[in-house]
Chain A
Amino acid sequence: MEIKEKIKNLIDSNAVCLFMKGTPDNPQCGFSMAVSNVLKHLKVNFNGVNVLDDQNLRQGIKDFSDWPTIPQLYVKGEFIGGCDIVKDMFEKGELKKILKEKKII
């Protein structure tokens, strides 16, 4: 399967999809850990996709989102942002608002 198609499937079939280094229970990078912890804190049921398992995916998701860094958070198919944006939105209460609007929490 084309990597683009694979990514599209992942974000379509998981309401909240976090592309990260490592797994939610064993993150391999501080930034991935930070976003994962924010989602856990908000009691969000999410799918953590470990990009370290797949070199194609690691580069593919950067091209797909036109975003050069990992982690990347998708909610209902929409790119929300990377670590800085997600943390900022969390602190301002905006993330919770979006998740509620999209009926995730």
Chain B
Amino acid sequence: MALAVEEIKKLITSSIPDASIEIKDLMGDNNHYSAIIKSKMFNGLSKIDQHKLVYKSLKGKMGNELHALSITTEEK
């Protein structure tokens, strides 16, 4: 199972509405992505909590349909 870039973006923005998201399909296989996500919601949170917010937005897909998503989070 794989997840398309647009679908990932939609999931993230549904939980983090102000997110600026840049996603790269690293191998062109819809399965290995890297994402840079910027949001005000990250302000003041630890990296761990920032990543947790992103993981939560993906609603359990991380580690399942979505095998590899490398995440970089930045405050806005």
Contact = CB atoms under 8 A, between A and B. Distances in A.
Interface of A: 31, 62, 66-70, 79, 81-85, 88-89
Interface residues of B, number: 12
B71 A84 contact: yes
If over half of B's interface residues share one DSSP class (helix, strand or loop), that class is named, otherwise mixed; here it is mixed
B75 to A, nearest CB: 14
A82 B73 CA distance: 13
Contacts of A31: 68
A54 B50 CA distance: 29
Given A31-B68, A84-B70, A88-B72, A68 B62 contact: yes
Nearest to A83: B70
A85 B47 contact: yes
B52 to A, nearest CB: 7
Interface string B41-66: 00000011001100100001011000
A69 B63 contact: yes
